Amino acid sequence: VLLTGERMSLLLGGVGLRPGKPSVVAGQEIGSAGPGPLRIQLCSVAGLVPPEFCLPQLAAGWFAVCPDPSELLGLDASDVAPVESLPVTQRESFAAVQEHYYQVPPQIERGWRHHLIDVTGRVYVDMINNVTVVGHGHPRLAAASARQWSLLNTNSRFHYGVLGEFADRLASLAPDGLDTVFLVNSGTEANDLALRLAGIHTGRPGVVAILEAYHGWSVATDAVSTSVADNPQALVTRPDWVHTLRAPNSYRGDFQGDDAGQRYVDDAVTTLQQLAASGARIGTFIAEPYYGNAGGIPLPDGYLRAVYDEVRRTGGVCIADEVQVGYGRLGEFFWGFEQQQVVPDIITVAKGMGNGQPLGAVICRREIADSFAREGYFFSSAGASPVSCRIGMTVLDVMRDEGLQHNAREVGATLRAELEQLQALHPMIGAVHGMGLYMGVELVRDRATREPAVAETAAICERMLELGVVVQPTGDRMNVLKIKPPMCLTASSAAFFVEMLNRVLTEGW
Ligand code: PMP
């Protein structure tokens, strides 16, 4: 088959190549077509008219008789993901404890902006990928990473421009005084390093965390994670250097009502004073500055100011875990701690920083970073690699150029208003938490008792998938729909999500 300029040779169905007995020879022109799209299909079974498209489950069968013509035409071979006969979750090599979504997980092989696409071509609105801040399949990110891979990918013991550029950029995003940056690979690593820095710097072993929180899976971050949804043993296996504050959950915590906020503040300060009096030697306080794991609930007004003051008064430092809530997602604020009007001593950030590339950072005061020298030097092989730094820079460029923090604020506000309207229609929606593109829809069986609608939340998420929306439960009771989509979510996709939720809550699940 010959392809020349605008006159393209055409293999007509009627001409047909018979196996072993070609009816055309190489170089022979067998037809022509004008400019415009041309569809070429090979078929090795005479008389068979293959379909133009088929279900992915049948692709292997059709490929056997309809070989991919790409190579013949000098094109790249088609990129078709095979349909897995056995879901990865059922494979023996897959650790059964590895968390996964859905009873029958769709095989997702592509993404575009705030959409996920499975192998059957079904498109879903993605309401939960908070890591993918700039969206799936972003061409600028793909190009920047491909170029950096082709130039160099090594480690931070060598010097390359983008390393300093990215560290400066992160420091410039942090408040004055937080000017020193460590680059790692994940939120767990960032929190682990932050805990170690705080412990070395203060020389005090005690750590205070709040209940119903998650900070990572490593030994140290698991020790300070108190969420029983992530680790059912979290409250019984806690080492003695970890202490906790009551969950400041103003919707369903121990204190409710108008004065709940002040009671949480007073309670936290009293607990810290009691810990100091008991000789606990607290060196570190770690918390999400916006209560993410509990479902996107703001901390009570003045909570972090009071707690930070008390922790510092007795010689401790404060870590703000911004892994989920920071980096512009709240819309109005770039960092979650801005909402509480405080400045931490150490910021940890990850997730969205790399849009899925393993990337995390600790940003702190110089003297805290310098303390690490007492225990040697710091090095993370891939943490500050040229590819990671380049991707980190590109994510920030895209966020700026596409106005994604602004989008989080605008679309988030519209979405919140629509969800509140839905709350007026459906008693099951006990509360709409959060701001920007970080929200939680808390589902209850009874608004008065606030009994969590646990089984219903799981079933609603399964039904939402059938309707084209990816959304999942969160919180210690798994009764909050977590809403933290790519920050490029559009108002129309947000409206689609609300419409589908309305349909499920109206029709049942
Ligand atoms: N902190 C918070 C608040 C998180 O939500 C998470 C991840 N869910 C982590 C830390 C751990 O981050 P990673 O999964 O990147 O280790």
Q: Which mutation among 188, 226, 230, 349 tests ligand 1's pocket best, with the greatest number of atoms within 8 A of CB?
A: 188
Quick check: CB of 214 below 6 Å from ligand 1? yes
Of ligand 1's listed atoms, the one at least distance from the Cα of 288 is 3
Q: What's the pLDDT score for residue 16? A: 45
Of ligand 1's listed atoms, the one at least distance from the Cα of 191 is 10
Ligand 1 centroid–CA 424 distance in Å is: 33
Using CA atoms of 292, 294, 298, 299 in order, give the dihedral in degrees to the nearest 10. Answer: -110
Of ligand 1's listed atoms, the one at least distance from the Cα of 350 is 15
pLDDT tens sequence across 322-340: 999 999 999 999 999 999 9
Quick check: CB of 186 below 6 Å from ligand 1? yes
Q: What's the pLDDT score for residue 9? A: 38
Quick check: CB of 215 below 6 Å from ligand 1? yes
Quick check: CB of 357 below 6 Å from ligand 1? no
For strand 206-210 and strand 282-287, is the pairing parallel, antiparallel, or unpaired?
A: parallel
Quick check: CB of 292 below 6 Å from ligand 1? yes
Residue of the CA atom closest to atom 5 of ligand 1:
324
- pLDDT beneath 50, residues of the chain: 1-21
3-state SS string over 313-373? HCCCEEEEECCCCCCCCCCCCCCHHHHCCCCCCEEEECHHHHECECCEEEEECHHHHHHHH
For strand 317-321 and strand 282-287, is the pairing parallel, antiparallel, or unpaired?
A: parallel
For strand 438-446 and strand 480-483, is the pairing parallel, antiparallel, or unpaired?
A: antiparallel
Q: What's the pLDDT score for residue 55? A: 83
Residue of the CA atom closest to atom 12 of ligand 1:
187
Average pLDDT along the chain? 91
Ligand 1 centroid–CA 468 distance in Å is: 27
Question: CA 7, 11, 12: angle at the middle one, nearest 5?
Answer: 110
Ligand 1 centroid–CA 229 distance in Å is: 14
For strand 438-446 and strand 429-435, is the pairing parallel, antiparallel, or unpaired?
A: antiparallel
Q: Locate 37 and state its tokens.
A: 């799209």
CA atoms of 342 and 338, how far apart (whole Å): 6
Ligand 1 centroid–CA 348 distance in Å is: 10
Of ligand 1's listed atoms, the one at least distance from the Cα of 358 is 15
CA atoms of 226 and 212, how far apart (whole Å): 5
Nearest to 252 by CA among 447, 422, 416: 447
Q: What's the pLDDT score for residue 433? A: 97
Q: What's the pLDDT score for residue 458? A: 97
CA atoms of 122 and 111, how far apart (whole Å): 11
Q: What's the pLDDT score for residue 23? A: 58
Nearest to 292 by CA among 53, 476, 83: 476
Q: What's the pLDDT score for residue 1? A: 37
Residue of the CA atom closest to atom 1 of ligand 1:
215
Residue 136 main-chain phi, psi, to 5 deg? -80, 150
CA atoms of 127 and 497, how far apart (whole Å): 8
Amino acid at 442: E
Quick check: CB of 188 below 6 Å from ligand 1? yes
